[in-house]
Amino acid sequence: MSKQPVNRQWLLARRPEGAVKPCDFRYREGAIPTPSEGDVLLRTLYFGYDASQRIWLTEDGGYMPPIRIGEPMRAMGIGQVVESHDPAYAAGDLVEGFMSWQDYAIVRSDGPMPLRLLPKADYPLSWNLGVFGVGGLTAYFGVTDGLKVKPGDTVVVSAATGATGSLAGGIAKALGAKKVIGIAGGPEKCRWIVEKAGYDAAIDYQNENLDARLAELCPEGVDAYFDNVGGDMLDTLLLRMAPRGRVLICGAMSSGYTDVKLKGPSNYMRICTHMLTMQGILLFFYRDQLAEGAQQLGRWVAQGKLHVEENLFEGFEKAPELLPTMFSGKKPGKLLLKVADPT
Amino acid sequence: MSKQPVNRQWLLARRPEGAVKPCDFRYREGAIPTPSEGDVLLRTLYFGYDASQRIWLTEDGGYMPPIRIGEPMRAMGIGQVVESHDPAYAAGDLVEGFMSWQDYAIVRSDGPMPLRLLPKADYPLSWNLGVFGVGGLTAYFGVTDGLKVKPGDTVVVSAATGATGSLAGGIAKALGAKKVIGIAGGPEKCRWIVEKAGYDAAIDYQNENLDARLAELCPEGVDAYFDNVGGDMLDTLLLRMAPRGRVLICGAMSSGYTDVKLKGPSNYMRICTHMLTMQGILLFFYRDQLAEGAQQLGRWVAQGKLHVEENLFEGFEKAPELLPTMFSGKKPGKLLLKVADPT
């Protein structure tokens, strides 16, 4: 395997204030790192975009250590092993996991999530970052284990065109939900939700009254709500939950994940008076079940029950400019950047 | 059974603004009501005090219809059947359930909770409103089913001198919790928690730094938090929960249950990043298991594992003046008013 002479990198130049901007990163051509005991040296092929990248950019970092100034930006990615000092991986293997915006990255399997070895498959390699990656698996464990969706349930999903939300509806339908409703902004996205992503109905929160539409579509209340948005939307939904309803806290897109202190859900006492359950989802806690989840997702895709949508760009130079679009009306589906082909 | 000539009543005179006051009620001597088909006419013997009475006084009513101006104030109570038009009850039976502040009340078994027939027992009748009533059963199902406390858990309970909180700690210990910590206001209450209610430690939130004390007492985080307080205390606890920790939303004493809009927990995204579960508790959902719960509580009381504390007053005229003390530093244990003896 021939190494490129340079290692292109996008480093964090400064901690973003408010919305993340391309100029928060700076380009550098560095040396290809030398792996030590236990390290795996990868050539990166694809980067996925996730809203949680904005959280990693805060001082706090959220559930991960924060990215430091001067470090390459962290991202989920697909890579190919160049040199391995970990017996679990061999040169040439294709893997998915935590990487960073550079051509060559060193990864260790003792991190929060080990690198996942990718099987030879007849679907596009990039699907391992989407339907079989963080988005798909979060939707899978969120709907099955978190929300425990069962036949007959009425299910609502916010940010329903996102990498996770676009799959959560189909998963709920596959489990027998009676009615699955997606929330998104604008008529075009709402049409996509119903025509492509398999939702029974859509609510355009920008142009419709969310509460009135929920009352109309869910006269007996919402059994399960997959929340990617938080804020006022979560508060509105809390008042529309059926007794013993379940709420999954998956994200808070309404906050933009900036450093701004979040507004808590003021209607949270509905948890008490309607005996609701509000639960979180973080894939780290499912690390031993990921392969099983991906297999089930694969069966549903093969059966035509899940619609896979990619929003694929190409070229290492585009890495920073795509990140802000996560928070400002990107197209439906998984946002991805291809930077190289496997050998 | 001889009927008294009059039916003393405390009616709601006006909807309280802010803290409830005795002058929000007015006294009247009315007629003894005449029961119809399906009705049970009771003579009331004891009234229990519950923070949720303040919620029933709001326009909204919370999880029950609001009490209307001019109606007798609703309360949990113990009564004796005078005349029954419901085959499940006979004259002379002692029962516990939803009643109101009057000597004679008509109750129907098709309400949210049927009247509970009280067994002949060798413990005080009033215990059916405390350890075997709403407080004890809420603590029981909250700790066992809601929080799923298991051996080795670190458990925190707020408002730990209350009718529910004072029992939740002992129940958690009986289930094998490693460390059970109560939160209360003032050194006297904190002493009581440890010396009487069986807690391992107490935190005086009025005189100590709650967060620092939690860090010291729970270095590995809190596995289960029984929240009776809400507000800033809930926010502080959310940051101290262990991964996969469970929070039970039982009450929000910090709000005083007035009409004031609650402040939601701004740290609720910890639910996502630490994969917490936040769940509610409302006894209506356990109506078929209440007898079983009371039996288990009885066994623990007999084994000396639960401390029963009553804060008992006597005299129908005191009904309104005791209600505000629920929110302003009453003594530990269950607040009760005795108004008559059974025949």
What band does A189 get if pLDDT is binned at 50, 70 and 90?
Answer: very high
- Specify the pLDDT at position A310: 96
Across the interface, of A250, A275, A280, the residue whose CB is closest to B276 is: A280
Cβ-in-10-Å burial (0-12, 13-18, 19+) of A17 comes to exposed
Minimum mean pLDDT range among A176-190, A261-275, B26-40, B205-219: A261-275
Residue in B62, B230, B280 closest to A275 by CB: B280
Chain B: residue whose CA lies nearest to A279: B277
Chain A closest-CA separation from residue B159 CA (Å): 16
Q: What is the reported pLDDT for B244?
A: 96
Judge whether residue B22 has pLDDT over 60: yes
Measure the CA–CA gap between A141 and A171, rounded to whole angstroms.
10
Chain A residues within an 8 Å CB radius of B261: 266
Which helix (DSSP H) or strand (DSSP E) does residue B37 occupy? Answer: none
N- to C-terminal Cα separation, chain A: 8
pLDDT of residue A260: 64
User: Is 70 exceeded by the pLDDT of residue B260?
Assistant: no
In this prediction, residues B322-335 reach a mean pLDDT of: 91
Average pLDDT, whole number, for chain B?
Answer: 94
Q: In B, which residues are within 8 Å of A265 by CB distance?
A: 264-265, 268
Q: What are the angstrom distances between the C-alpha of A73 and each of A164, A274, B210?
A: 22, 43, 37
**Interchain contact, B273 vs A280, CB within 8 Å:** yes
Across the interface, whether the CB atoms of B249 and A261 are under 8 A apart is answered no
CA A276 to chain B, closest CA, distance in angstroms equals 6
Q: Which of A305-319, B144-158, B254-268, B313-327 has the lowest mean pLDDT?
A: B254-268
Contact A95, A115 (CB under 8 A): yes
Q: What is the pLDDT of residue B257?
A: 78
Q: What share of chain A is helix, strand, coil (3-state, %, to 5)?
A: 30, 25, 45
Contact A278 B278 (CB under 8 A): yes
Residue of B nearest to A228 (CA): B272
Closest CA in chain A for residue B63: A273
- Could you tell me the CA-to-CA distances from A160 to A151, A223, A331 in Å, in that order? 20, 17, 11
Task: Write down the mean pLDDT value for chain A.
Answer: 94
Q: Which sign does the torsion angle of CA A98, A104, A110, A116 carry? A: positive
Do A273 and B243 count as a contact with CB atoms less than 8 A apart? no
Both structure tokens of B66: 């609001």
Question: Is the model's pLDDT at B112 over the cut of 80?
Answer: no
Are the beta carbons of B266 and A261 separated by less than 8 Å?
Answer: yes
Contact B119, B144 (CB under 8 A): no
What per-residue confidence (pLDDT) applies to B196?
Answer: 96
Q: How far is A271 from chain B (nearest CA, A)?
A: 5
**pLDDT for res A259:** 66
- Residue B104: exposure state from Cβ atoms within 10 A (0-12, 13-18, ≥19): buried
Q: What is the pLDDT of residues A61-83, one digit of tens each?
A: 777 889 999 999 999 999 999 99
Joined together, the tokens standing for residue A331 give: 């197209």
Residue A151's pLDDT band (cuts 50, 70, 90): very high
- Opening angle at CA B125, ends B318 and B188, nearest 5: 60
pTM above 0.90, yes or no: yes
Tokens of B57: 């006084």
Closest Cβ–Cβ partner in A63, A261, A275 for B282: A275
Among A249, A269, A281, whose Cβ lies nearest the Cβ of B252? Answer: A269
Nearest by CB: A273 against B63, B235, B277: B63
Look at B4 and A21; give whichever has higher pLDDT: A21
Backbone angles phi, psi at A170, to 5 degrees: -65, -40
Say whether pLDDT at A120 is over 90: no
Q: What is the pLDDT of residues B115-143, one digit of tens each?
A: 999 988 889 999 999 999 999 999 999 99
Choose, out of B63, B268, B274, the residue to mutate when testing the contact with A (most A CBs < 10 Å).
Answer: B268
Amino acid at B184: A
- Phi, psi torsion values for A115, nearest 5 degrees: -60, 135
What tens digit of pLDDT does each residue of A222-281 get? 999 999 999 999 999 999 999 999 999 999 888 877 766 788 999 999 999 899 999 999
Indicate the residue of A243, A263, A279 with minimum beta-carbon distance to B271.
A279
Q: What pLDDT, on a 0 to 100 scale, did the predictor assign at position B4?
A: 52
DSSP assignments along A221-242, one per residue? -EEEEEESS-HHHHHHHHTTEE
CB-side neighbour CA atoms (13 Å) of A55: 18
Q: Note the pLDDT of residue A309.
A: 96
**Which structural domains are found in chain A, ordered by start?**
7-130+308-338 (3.90.180.10), 134-284 (3.40.50.720)
What average pLDDT does range A16-35 have in this prediction? 94
CA distance B227 to chain A (A): 10
